[in-house]
Copies of this chain bind each other. A is one copy, B any other.
């Protein structure tokens, strides 16, 4: 697929079909992620896959807790609260594959180019890898959704993720059930008004 087509077709997906994802598809995505820029060529991105239903169901419970907290912030604005409640913001149980993406801070044990003022540059490197992964999924007919409404400290405990890993997101991966009329879902659903 052409780069610009992949960039414009990439969606943050929360509605998935049940189709499983071939391992080769994920292999291509991981290879694309490995080509992302990384500060000092540290390549600090770590990908942890969540395949079993029980774990995904626990992640969903954590999402529901976090989402309740988010909803409380909207109590003063009933119209907005109603719209927010109607939005599907994750596909944790339906998508056949979950993924936690982490930044491995152990790379800082050695001198690392580009971290002198902020080690957040490591996080930013991993985000570039995530974007490559996402575009590679899109070009192969798959998609994912980035779930940020989660207490990552709880996810870390649940999946016994090493202390030195910082979680950037939980991702639901699968075959998209819709492309939201070729626009971001939050635009399609009127959450955001924009050009």
Binding site for B on A (CB under 8 A): 1-4, 6-8, 10, 12, 28, 32, 35-37, 39-41, 43, 66, 69-70, 73-74, 77, 80, 84, 87, 89, 111, 113-118, 120-121, 123-124, 127-128, 130-132, 134-136, 139, 146, 148-152, 168-169, 184, 186-187, 191-192, 194
* A116 and B70 contact, CB distance less than 8 A: yes
Would you call A4 and B136 a contact (CB within 8 A)? yes
Q: Complex Cα distance A79/B110, Å?
A: 14
Which listed residue (B4, B134, B148, B194) contacts A32, Cβ 8 A?
B4
User: Could you say which of B41, B69, B74 contacts A187, with CB atoms under 8 Å apart?
Assistant: B41
Distance A84 CA – B110 CA, assembled complex (angstroms): 14
Q: With A4-B136, A149-B113 given, is the CB distance from A10 to B32 under 8 Å?
A: no
Which residues does chain B contribute within 8 Å of A111, judged by CB atoms? 73-74, 77, 80
Please give, as numbers and ranges, the residues of chain B lying within 8 Å of A139 by CB-CB distance: 3-4
Determine how close the nearest CB of chain B comes to the CB of A188; give it in whole angstroms: 10
Contact of A148 among B121, B150, B169, B186 (CB under 8 A): B121
With A2-B2, A7-B132, A66-B116 known, 6 other A-B pairs at CB within 8 A are A3-B139, A4-B139, A66-B117, A70-B113, A70-B116, A114-B148
Q: Which residues of B contact A124 (CB under 8 A)?
A: 123-124, 127, 130, 168-169
- With A and B bound together, what is the CA distance between A117 and B36 in angstroms? 26
